[in-house]
Structure 1
């Protein structure tokens, strides 16, 4: 399936629901499917690229996700938004790619976990202390530092933070995408904040001449 995003679509800029566009696509309206592609390609690519850290791989995975959407349309529940399903597919494709290329343990990524699950002492002991220094944005590229900090998070936290920051999913949608309770997604996000703060502060200190 070749999606030409350069062509002008009659659905461009329209706010049709996912279900309406999907139904039109099932009826043979190719421009409706193109509208879905335009709606979700950007946030999906951003999530995949940050998850994998590889631009070329992200391009390939995005095409796989869009192809899976195209093939799965007849069996999807069109009364609900497609976004959580799409990001779940994207995450699973990313995990498949990482499994194929790296000999690492993915138990943390695959387990949704429980809200009351104990974390390592080192994680719990990091205080959610002072705000980041105001001069951080002036001395460093904050976006780059933030992405590096996210990459350093435990995998189960990383997926939640990426979906929240890069895809702007709600916690309910994150829970659907990662097959975990909404409360667990909120807990993981909150527990990631002191880790992000510690990582960012460490990067600032490392880059500041003594």
Structure 2
């Protein structure tokens, strides 16, 4: 199955259709409903995967695998709640498989969500295109934020990445990382002053406020 990068499915009232309804319609033979699901989650999932792997082409492959797993798993999915947390959990597991395969590193502590998580989620592929002058400062600011996140205590990294890069709610982050929602929120709140402190060494307060909102 090939996931379409750009779907032509009409967006009219799509936001009013629940994930469960789209799954039910897909199982009934309506392939356009599956395309709506892909359209709904493709961008945040791809960003998350690309940030974790730091490899654009591999991220494309893994993204395809995640949606393929969604398609295959539809008959057994719970349709009463959004699929976002489930999709990000699948994506995270796929990324860990790829990192283990590529780097021959044991990530058992990641898979069990222990606090000694060594993954650097924002070690992303550097830009290959030169930035215009007016965008250079913003690019530097984003790079500084990535470095600050990379330097966070390991237990905070995945929470911050899921919140900033993928815009998941704390409830969804908790489900993705198998931790209570309150713990995810606490980790995020504790991480923000650490990010501000790290960036304040080289950036003005208003620039730090822009980056760490």
Q: TM-score range by the shorter chain?
A: 0.7 to 0.9
Q: Which stretches in structure 2 are left out of the alignment for 5+ residues?
A: 117-135, 205-213
State the match for 1:86 in structure 2.
87
| Mapping 1:1-210, distance limit 5 Å | 1-10=1-10, 14-15=14-15, 16-106=17-107, 108-112=109-113, 141-202=140-201, 204=203
Render the CA deviation track for 1:87-130: whole Å, top value 9, x for unaligned. 0111111111111122445355334459xx9xxxxxxxxxxxxx
Give the TM-score taking structure 2 as reference length: 0.76
State the match for 1:208 in structure 2.
none
Structure-2 change in CA distance of 1:95 and 1:203 (3 Å): farther
Render the CA deviation track for 1:11-41: whole Å, top value 9, x for unaligned. 5662211111111111111100000000000
Q: How far apart are 1:186 and its partner, in Å?
A: 1.6
Give the number of equivalent residue pairs. 184
Considering Cα pairs closer than 8 Å and 6+ residues apart, tell me whether 1 or 2 has the greater RCO: 1
Q: Secondary structure at the match of 2:172?
A: helix
Query: Contact 1:10–1:31 (CA<8 Å) still a contact in 2?
Result: no
Structure-2 change in CA distance of 1:150 and 1:108 (3 Å): farther
Separation in 2 of the partners of 1:36 and 1:30?
Answer: 10
Q: Name the stretch that deviates more: 86-95 or 150-159.
A: 150-159
Q: Name the stretch that deviates more: 195-204 or 19-28.
A: 195-204
Instruction: Return the index of the structure with the highest Cα Rg.
Output: 1
Render the CA deviation track for 1:140-163: whole Å, top value 9, x for unaligned. 632232123223334432111111
Q: Name the stretch that deviates more: 9-18 or 83-92.
A: 9-18
Structure-2 change in CA distance of 1:107 and 1:190 (3 Å): farther
Q: Name the stretch that deviates more: 17-26 or 191-200.
A: 191-200
Q: Secondary structure at the match of 1:2?
A: coil
Separation in 1 of the partners of 2:12 and 2:75?
Answer: 23
Q: How far apart are 1:56 and its partner, in Å?
A: 1.4
Query: Contact 1:44–1:62 (CA<8 Å) still a contact in 2?
Result: yes
Q: Which stretches in structure 1 are left out of the alignment for 5+ residues?
A: 118-136, 206-210
Query: Contact 2:86–2:176 (CA<8 Å) still a contact in 1?
Result: yes
Separation in 1 of the partners of 2:164 and 2:6?
Answer: 27
> C-alpha root-mean-square deviation of aligned residues, in Å?
2.6
Query: Contact 2:20–2:80 (CA<8 Å) still a contact in 1?
Result: yes
Structure-2 change in CA distance of 1:160 and 1:28 (3 Å): same
